[in-house]
Structure 1
Amino acid sequence: MASAAADQHHGWDAGRSVAGANSPWLIVAIISLPTFMEVLDTSIANVSLTNIAGGLSITLDQATWVLTSYLVANAVIIPISGWLSDVIGRKRYFMISVALFTGASFLCGMAPNLQFLVIARILQGIGGGGLAPVEQSMLADTFPPSKRGMAFATFAIVVVVGPVLGPTLGGIITDSASWHWIFLINVPVGILSLVLVQLFVDEPEQVQQDRRELLKNGVRIDYIGFALVAVGLGLLEYTLDRGEREAWFQSSFIVTTSALSALALIGLVIWELNHDDPIVDLKLFKNRNFAVANAVMFTVGMILFGTTQLIPQMLQQVLGYSATDAGMALTVGGIATLVAVPIAGRLTDKVDVRMLLFPALLAQGFALWNLSLLNANISFMDAAMARMYQSVALPFLFVPINAVAYLGLPQRKTAQASSMLNVSRNLGGTVGISAAQTMLAGYQQTEQAHMVNGLNPLNPNYVQWMNQAGAALGGFGQSMEARLGILYHQVQQQVAMLAFLDIFHTLMLFVFIVSPIALLLRSNPGAKPPAGAH
């Protein structure tokens, strides 16, 4: 009864539930299916770029446009997906997104050249961008605040485990079939999703009434806001994704895209805060809970996507793992996440979320500290366990954030709020990947300078190693060039390993610094406040 009263106090209206006469948990399974498909696709193509480049007779750098085009389209559509679902109708927009994503996946799989594939990926990104925000909005309306923990635990499986399984699944499909099937596998899943959504997901009368009210006086389309979103976030995504490859601000094009992005985003904030019908409702950030939840979500995105890129890269570059084996090391962490998700869901409904988020952020910091202690002689199990320590804490971040982000917001704003939460997660992920790659290049230069500095005939260890190498290699080792070549290879391996460890250490410090912001959140309904709290 107390939790029901708290739900009413927070303005929750059961009339906006999309379950209708069906079980809410059936709806969770149905609407999570296409979202899982989309989240998986953000990372599944990463390990197949070499095969795509070979199949289309293009360079590897050209093949990276397969990733960039999708991310840019996603970045543009996600922030306006809440407005689109309000105008078009939530269920209708969700089904349009599923259909577009499915059709574009088929086109990707049948692409005869790079230009065709990039256009299909843009369409796929536009379709996929609306899925996660609309699903979150449906979950927030279908489950009262006091019971959202378990609902968003299911969503966490989709969003947290998807990027982890993507590289592994992509490697297996590419190795056993061809790169075309990483896209074509979406088609039957998408068709099944459309049928299930049409049959079981309801468009409640209250949501329809809100749409009629919105359309009654004609839709005022915020063209300027849309243009500023497209330019600001689209170019920001491009800059972050391509910046390291283009040597950042040594490239005049990157300077131009970053400047235009900054100007557009500043203009977006000014315009939307002073516009009566904004396409992105930035006024929601006046709610402290929502603002803090987005900050924590940004951090989670950085950690999840940044390390998901770094760990397989380290295992492949330093330890010589195949793409599939490197992905399998992450899969152990995915299993740990699956085990922890229902626990996080149950605790979120019963415990003050601050008592979950703050320790979980600290656990992430210690997991990154543990990663910074690895060395080039680690076993597969060492790598898998290091990832597992990190993965087991992720649900205790993701589930509580989603459960409390909507507290204090009007329920008709859940679609807009969901859009911005997804922007924070995706943008955090892009920043995490971009920062990791930039730090990797910088730390490699620094570590190499330190290491090479002592490799000269005045160093007795250097002389001893060269003599021992010559004796061990026999006639081949008599060549100074051969010995130097072997030494250089070992130095490069050690430099790369040290650079990865430096990044993990830097991320650890970042997480420890930002972790106290979780204490600024308000508690969730029905949870017991911490001792001494008022």
Structure 2
Amino acid sequence: MTAVDAHAGWRPSGNPWAIAVVVTLAAFMEILDTTIVNVALPHIAGSLSSSNDEATWALTSYLVANAIVLTISGWLSSVIGRKRYFMICIGMFTVCSFLCGIADSLPQLVFFRLLQGFFGGGLQPSQQAIILDTFPPEKRGAAFGVTAVATIVAPVLGPTLGGVITDTYNWRWIFFANIPVGIIAVFFVSILVEDPPWLQKLASKRIDIVGLGFIILGLGALQVMLDRGEDDDWFGSGFIQFMAVLAFIGIVGGIIWLKTAKNPIVNLDVFKDRNFAMGCVCISAVGGVLYAGAVVIPQFAQSVIHYTATWAGFILSPGGVAIIVLIPIIGMLMRFVQTRFIIAAGFFVMGSAFFYSSRLTPNIDFGTLVMMRAAQTMGLAFLFVPISTIAYITLPRRLNGDATALFSMFRNVFGSIGIALATAMITERGQVHQAQLSKWANPFHEPFNALIATYQQSLIAMGHAADAAHDIAVGMVYQSFRTQAQILAYSDVFLYTGVVAFCIVPFCFFLTGKKASRGAAGAAH
């Protein structure tokens, strides 16, 4: 009998729902920080006497450290103790938030953000692992409904909250706001959370230096490549090419090492469980769509129809409310409908929503944009809780730490991939559409001449000289062509994202058709 089997009936002495809320509070604070800084970058750059391009390293440093630690957080929990590790992560994340807030130069801010990402990376996996061990399998769906508030709503609210704080107060308060939340979370975690009795027996003090090195190299280089690729012209840049080679060596070498090492830092045996493997495929797609959608719509609102950062963020907020309302309904639906059917329906709804979102126009109004984003988030409500529930339902408890670390890593890394691909596609498709439209922008195309004449007559009526009015009219028509090309590019991104969502639907049916028994899902594996 294993240590896990011997304590199959263990439950923490504290109220499990209080534990779920407390650990989710910490995760919410960390996930919020992945998007809340985005809208404040121009203010940070101006305040610290740096360019916008240099200021983006405040994001890159955080994401690189975060991606690396996500993967090894299960091992760190087993060595340090999950509760102790979780409290260290919350406490140091809070301290680093304070240091970010008082930074008086960009190098200082980048360094403190690197530390913040390092300690923040342990919060999401530890939160999920604590919930897995706190709740029996039949109650995990409802518990993951609480965690969905952190995982889905935080990235949605981040740009809105960041815009409001930056416009109303100062960008430094984006970091200072974490301090009271972190103090409250540390206090209640110290009271409520307990390590399961088998965790100490599973602890390994041996450090897999080679495996750790491959993970740092592969995920670190991949994150740098994804975050800096758009600014550095992707593979037209020698730096990005070098990062791509390092990422390939690190990831492929890491997989080979972790599969053959006697005591790997991350146990890849979790992928032998079909539900977990397919759950990772599904959550990767969710991560890519969630983060890409949260970036593309505000970017469209600001760059094309010239909304402020605050109003661009407000477009996302109703979608967050829709998720909160729908998640309990989906939880009840899971009692009567096979989980894989709910997940398949979620991807179908999401694909349909992105197809609907591709119908962008130059005169689109605020309400329509809100409806488009709300439709997208409706699909997310069908996905996160069911995927998180079924991914672990047949997995042995002894693998929970590694599983939650890898599950969170897939979601975040593919979120970065989704953002990178979406922003790159906007640029590329914009150039394609501009080239296509330019065929009609010539003196031999009568509608083009008629449009210039219309603008010119209006300008002359406003008092402009005829020659000057003609030049201004040509410039206005050219700007109209550019705007049309941009709108078509954003529409293409939404259309392709919808296709990706539809393509994931067949994979949902590889998941287990019915819930596993208590014994199969619990420690008696």
Report if TM-score (shorter chain) is over 0.5.
yes
- Code of the residue aligned with 2:122 in structure 1: it is G
The Cα shift of 1:395 comes to: 2.0
Matched, 1:199 2:191: yes
Matched, 1:46 2:38: yes
The Cα shift of 1:189 comes to: 0.8
* Residues 391-402 of structure 1: pairs in structure 2 closer than 5 A: 391-402=377-388
1:517 aligns to what?
A: 507
Q: 2:155 aligns with which of 158, 163, 174?
A: 163
CA distance in 2 between counterparts of 1:287 and 1:281 reads: 12
Compute the TM-score of the two structures, normalised by the length of structure 1. Answer: 0.93
Equivalent pair of 1:12/1:144 in contact (CA under 8 Å): no
- Code of the residue aligned with 1:464 in structure 2: it is A
Taking structure 1 as reference, are residues 240 and 16 closer, same or farther at Cα in structure 2, changes over 3 Å only?
farther
1:490 aligns to what?
A: 480
Equivalent pair of 2:304/2:483 in contact (CA under 8 Å): yes
**2:379 counterpart SS class:** coil
Instruction: State how many pairs are aligned.
Output: 510
Instruction: Kindly provide the CA deviation profile for residues 2-55 of structure 1, in whole angstroms up to 9, marking residues without a partner as x.
Output: xxxxxxxx97965454xx222110101111111000000000000000110111
* Residues 147-158 of structure 1: pairs in structure 2 closer than 5 A: 147-158=139-150
Equivalent pair of 1:56/1:112 in contact (CA under 8 Å): yes
- Code of the residue aligned with 1:418 in structure 2: it is T
Identity %: 41
Instruction: Kindly provide the CA deviation profile for residues 132-174 of structure 1, in whole angstroms up to 9, marking residues without a partner as x.
Output: 1001001111111121110001101110000000000000100
CA distance in 2 between counterparts of 1:126 and 1:238 reads: 15
**1:314 counterpart SS class:** helix
2:245 aligns to what?
A: 259
Equivalent pair of 1:439/1:503 in contact (CA under 8 Å): yes
The Cα shift of 1:393 comes to: 2.0
Matched, 1:390 2:376: yes
CA distance in 2 between counterparts of 1:278 and 1:524 reads: 31
Instruction: Kindly provide the CA deviation profile for residues 471-523 of structure 1, in whole angstroms up to 9, marking residues without a partner as x.
Output: 10114262232112111211111111110001111111111112210111013
CA distance in 2 between counterparts of 1:517 and 1:181 reads: 43
CA distance in 2 between counterparts of 1:310 and 1:14 reads: 46
Q: 1:357 aligns with which of 343, 346, 353?
A: 343
**2:281 counterpart SS class:** helix
Equivalent pair of 1:14/1:141 in contact (CA under 8 Å): no
Structure 1 unaligned spans of 5+: 1-9, 528-534
The Cα shift of 1:204 comes to: 3.0
**1:278 counterpart SS class:** coil
Matched, 1:433 2:424: no
**1:266 counterpart SS class:** helix
CA distance in 2 between counterparts of 1:329 and 1:421 reads: 29
The Cα shift of 1:404 comes to: 1.2
The Cα shift of 1:408 comes to: 2.6
Equivalent pair of 2:279/2:387 in contact (CA under 8 Å): yes
1:348 aligns to what?
A: 334
CA distance in 1 between counterparts of 2:193 and 2:213 reads: 32
Matched, 1:316 2:325: no
CA distance in 1 between counterparts of 2:232 and 2:357 reads: 29
1:476 aligns to what?
A: 464
- Code of the residue aligned with 1:517 in structure 2: it is F
Equivalent pair of 1:16/1:207 in contact (CA under 8 Å): no
- Code of the residue aligned with 1:330 in structure 2: it is L
Compute the TM-score of the two structures, normalised by the length of structure 2. Answer: 0.95
The Cα shift of 1:205 comes to: 2.5
Q: 1:505 aligns with which of 473, 491, 495?
A: 495
Q: Structure 1 stretches (4+) deviating beyond 6 angstroms?
A: none
Taking structure 1 as reference, are residues 16 and 22 closer, same or farther at Cα in structure 2, changes over 3 Å only?
same
Matched, 1:130 2:142: no
Equivalent pair of 1:37/1:186 in contact (CA under 8 Å): yes
Instruction: Kindly provide the CA deviation profile for residues 252-307 of structure 1, in whole angstroms up to 9, marking residues without a partner as x.
Output: 11111101110111110110000111111122112111110000000000110001
Equivalent pair of 2:350/2:378 in contact (CA under 8 Å): no
Equivalent pair of 2:394/2:516 in contact (CA under 8 Å): no
CA distance in 2 between counterparts of 1:350 and 1:183 reads: 43
1:242 aligns to what?
A: 228
2:25 aligns to what?
A: 33
1:3 aligns to what?
A: none
Equivalent pair of 2:24/2:150 in contact (CA under 8 Å): yes
* Residues 163-242 of structure 1: pairs in structure 2 closer than 5 A: 163-211=155-203, 214=204, 219-242=205-228
Equivalent pair of 2:133/2:196 in contact (CA under 8 Å): no
Equivalent pair of 1:146/1:526 in contact (CA under 8 Å): no
Equivalent pair of 2:39/2:163 in contact (CA under 8 Å): yes
Matched, 1:457 2:443: yes
The Cα shift of 1:406 comes to: 1.3
Equivalent pair of 1:344/1:395 in contact (CA under 8 Å): yes
CA distance in 2 between counterparts of 1:11 and 1:184 reads: 44
Q: 1:141 aligns with which of 94, 116, 133?
A: 133
CA distance in 2 between counterparts of 1:499 and 1:15 reads: 55
The Cα shift of 1:350 comes to: 4.3
- Code of the residue aligned with 2:265 in structure 1: it is I
CA distance in 2 between counterparts of 1:327 and 1:14 reads: 46
CA distance in 2 between counterparts of 1:302 and 1:16 reads: 36
2:103 aligns to what?
A: 111
CA distance in 2 between counterparts of 1:470 and 1:37 reads: 54
Pairwise CA RMSD: 1.5
1:305 aligns to what?
A: 291
The Cα shift of 1:467 comes to: 1.1
2:521 aligns to what?
A: none
CA distance in 1 between counterparts of 2:139 and 2:517 reads: 9
Q: 2:393 aligns with which of 392, 398, 407?
A: 407
- Code of the residue aligned with 1:116 in structure 2: it is Q
Matched, 1:81 2:73: yes
CA distance in 1 between counterparts of 2:308 and 2:194 reads: 46
The Cα shift of 1:525 comes to: 3.6
- Code of the residue aligned with 1:71 in structure 2: it is L
Taking structure 1 as reference, are residues 139 and 349 closer, same or farther at Cα in structure 2, changes over 3 Å only?
farther
1:336 aligns to what?
A: 322
Instruction: Kindly provide the CA deviation profile for residues 102-143 of structure 1, in whole angstroms up to 9, marking residues without a partner as x.
Output: 010000000000000000000100111000100100111111
The Cα shift of 1:346 comes to: 2.6
**2:442 counterpart SS class:** coil
Instruction: Kindly provide the CA deviation profile for residues 392-416 of structure 1, in whole angstroms up to 9, marking residues without a partner as x.
Output: 2212100011101113322011011
CA distance in 1 between counterparts of 2:336 and 2:25 reads: 27
The Cα shift of 1:428 comes to: 1.2
Structure 2 unaligned spans of 5+: 519-525
Taking structure 1 as reference, are residues 130 and 221 closer, same or farther at Cα in structure 2, changes over 3 Å only?
same
- Code of the residue aligned with 2:20 in structure 1: it is V
Equivalent pair of 2:7/2:198 in contact (CA under 8 Å): no
